[in-house]
């Protein structure tokens, strides 16, 4: 049986997009990758989609006079394709509350921190400056406030003494590629009960991903 028709919005290379495609093709995610949309024609993620036979569209934000006009065109493309769920994966546009509310509880995002810590940009550098012992990523349902909304899945990595931004970012990206398919699967198969800004998940749901290196740096009683 076909999964819920899902679109992924991207602006760049689309590594999380690839993780979602791979999970769906392997039967590990109850969604159908039906459409990839980018606001940039040169985004490599569009080529990833085409290689897997997934429809790929460009809606260039620079061709519109306002964010609202851009989002109206984006919304039209999604609805014309019969999209049921939307995943933001490196989509470098801040969405208005109107768009977010139109897709409420059907719009997912992945953020490179353990929300509510470090919303916004430069999360890895901020985690290093703060002396965090752990860092990670969060997949959540989108709400109008930036990087806010009910949390679905989180991935945790250790912050090592010799870490730089690049090494920490690479470690976080590893768990991102595991977390996003898990979260999309939960939503696509109807396992998430949503009550306002709270979610209830099955007790056996996998909602926490630990990086393999974490055990080497944790206290073992």
Just list the catalytic residues: 111
H/E element, 208 = strand 208-210
Q: List the Cα angle 209/210/216 in 5-degree steps.
A: 170
d(CA 145, CA 49): 30
Phi–psi pair at 105, nearest 5 degrees: 65, 5
102: exposed, middle or buried (C-beta count within 10 Å: 0-12, 13-18, 19+)?
Answer: middle
H/E element, 199 = strand 198-200
């Amino acid at each position: 049986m076909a999964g819920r028709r899902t679109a992924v919005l991207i602006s760049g290379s689309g590594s999380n997009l690839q993780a979602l495609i791979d999970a769906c093709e392997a039967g590990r995610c109850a969604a159908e990758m039906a459409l990839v949309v980018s606001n940039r024609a040169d985004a490599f993620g569009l080529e990833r989609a085409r290689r897997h036979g997934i429809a790929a569209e460009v809606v260039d934000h620079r061709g519109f006079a306002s964010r609202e006009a851009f989002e109206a065109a984006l919304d039209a493309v999604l609805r014309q394709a019969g999209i049921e769920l939307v995943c933001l994966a490196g989509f470098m546009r801040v969405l208005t509350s109107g768009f977010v509310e139109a897709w409420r509880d059907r719009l997912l995002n992945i953020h490179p921190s353990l929300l509510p810590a470090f919303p916004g940009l430069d999360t890895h550098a901020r985690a290093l400056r703060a002396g965090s012992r752990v860092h990670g990523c969060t997949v959540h349902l989108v709400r109008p406030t930036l990087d806010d909304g009910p949390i679905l899945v989180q991935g945790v990595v250790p912050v090592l003494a010799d870490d730089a931004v690049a090494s920490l970012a690479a470690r976080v990206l590893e768990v991102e590629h595991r977390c996003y398919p898990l979260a999309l699967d939960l939503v696509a198969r109807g396992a998430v009960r949503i009550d306002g800004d709270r979610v209830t998940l099955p007790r056996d749901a996998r909602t926490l991903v630990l990086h393999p290196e974490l055990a080497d740096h944790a206290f073992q009683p």
